[in-house]
């Protein structure tokens, strides 16, 4: 399987999972499942064949071509000297014959660095020069506020917010309520992972895709939805949001796109007692 791009359809929409690369994570179990009871966590890790050593967190962006619009959801970590395994989005789009000026809409699910790092180029200009950028106002306000950017806890975000948000402020539409950004692509306010986190519902005909972004970071989060991760800003809210969206996804049998799950991040939430199990889509060899 090509691990850089994966083509699929949602109704008449042509979609692609596009890799921006990956980053190695130290102590991934502790990062991903902070509040998990030790005994239950050990059992869950064994059951899922979790490989802690050499764990790579993948970044997979979504391209939606509706026929009228080319929509990119999240832009990856971008080019960072200290992370040579990331910043592959543009080259992978180019390999598919897609250039930056063909993208007319960029939707940012939330403003963590691995979702906005590709917003701008090395000169601080918008990477996608013809695109309108969309994001929740709550998200913008939180990550660009002096209170957040002077908080040592969020020091790692300062450069990302300056370069990839503030320098292209005139590009952004800040949403205060859910809207249909282009026909068939609808936002869904989903706070918890961050204060202004958004999910997306993509519909064409009778088919539907639910873009979860970082609402789940590992398949174990479906089996243990109450376990939250270190990056979750509002743990109680992320648990409520996760349960609500997974319940609807299972009932509707919606295809799910999850940004950090194994490429291409596509699968289904299968009801299992009071929780769910991740069923990845079958990928041809």
- Write the pLDDT tens digit of every residue in 97-128: 999 999 999 999 999 999 999 999 999 999 99
Q: Are 216 and 32 in contact (CB under 8 A)?
A: no
12 pLDDT above the threshold of 90 = yes
Average pLDDT, whole number, for the chain?
A: 96
- Alpha-carbon span 6 to 250, nearest angstrom: 23
Q: Are 224 and 238 in contact (CB under 8 A)?
A: no
Helix (H, G, I), strand (E, B) or coil at 237: helix
| pLDDT, mean of residues 6-12 | 98
Least confident of 5-9, 92-96, 125-129, 279-283: 279-283
Listed residue (200, 201, 212, 218) closest to 277, CA to CA: 218
pTM over 0.75: yes
* Residue-level pLDDT at 69: 98
5-280 has CATH 3.60.15.10 classification: yes
Q: How far is CA 277 from CA 48, 100, 248, 267, in A?
A: 11, 36, 14, 10
Tokens of 200: 């997306």
Q: Which residue has the tokens 């590709």?
A: 118
* Residue-level pLDDT at 1: 52
pLDDT band at 54 (very low <50, low <70, confident <90, very high): confident
Report the percent of the chain where pLDDT is more than 70.
Answer: 99
* Residue-level pLDDT at 273: 87
* Residue-level pLDDT at 284: 77
- Chain Cα centroid distance, residue 36: 23
| pLDDT, mean of residues 69-95 | 96
* Residue-level pLDDT at 129: 97
């Amino acid at each position: 399987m090509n691990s850089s791009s994966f083509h699929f359809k949602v109704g008449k929409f042509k979609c692609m999972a596009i890799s921006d690369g990956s980053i190695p994570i130290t102590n991934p179990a502790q990062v991903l499942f902070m509040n998990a009871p030790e005994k239950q966590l050990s059992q869950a890790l064994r059951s899922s064949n979790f490989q802690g050593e050499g764990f790579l967190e993948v970044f997979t962006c979504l391209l939606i071509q509706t026929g009228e619009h080319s929509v990119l959801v999240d832009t990856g970590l971008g080019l960072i000297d200290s992370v040579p395994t990331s910043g592959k989005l543009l080259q992978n789009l180019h390999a598919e014959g897609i250039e930056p000026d063909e993208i007319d809409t960029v939707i940012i699910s939330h403003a963590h660095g691995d979702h906005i790092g590709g917003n701008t180029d090395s000169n601080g200009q918008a990477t996608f020069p013809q695109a309108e950028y969309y994001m929740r106002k709550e998200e913008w306000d939180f990550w660009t506020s002096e209170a957040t950017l002077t908080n040592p806890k969020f020091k790692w975000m300062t450069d990302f917010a300056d370069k990839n948000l503030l320098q292209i402020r005139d590009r952004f539409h800040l949403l205060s309520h859910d809207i249909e950004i282009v026909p068939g692509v609808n936002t869904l306010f989903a706070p918890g992972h961050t204060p202004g986190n958004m999910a997306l519902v993509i519909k064409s005909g009778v088919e539907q895709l639910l873009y979860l972004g970082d609402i789940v970071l590992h398949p174990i989060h479906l089996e243990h939805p109450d376990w939250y991760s270190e990056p979750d800003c509002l743990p109680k809210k992320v648990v409520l949001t996760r349960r609500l969206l997974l319940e609807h996804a299972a009932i509707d049998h919606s295809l799910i796109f999850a940004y950090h799950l194994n490429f291409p991040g596509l699968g289904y939430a299968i009801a299992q007692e009071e929780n769910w199990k991740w069923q990845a889509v079958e990928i041809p060899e």
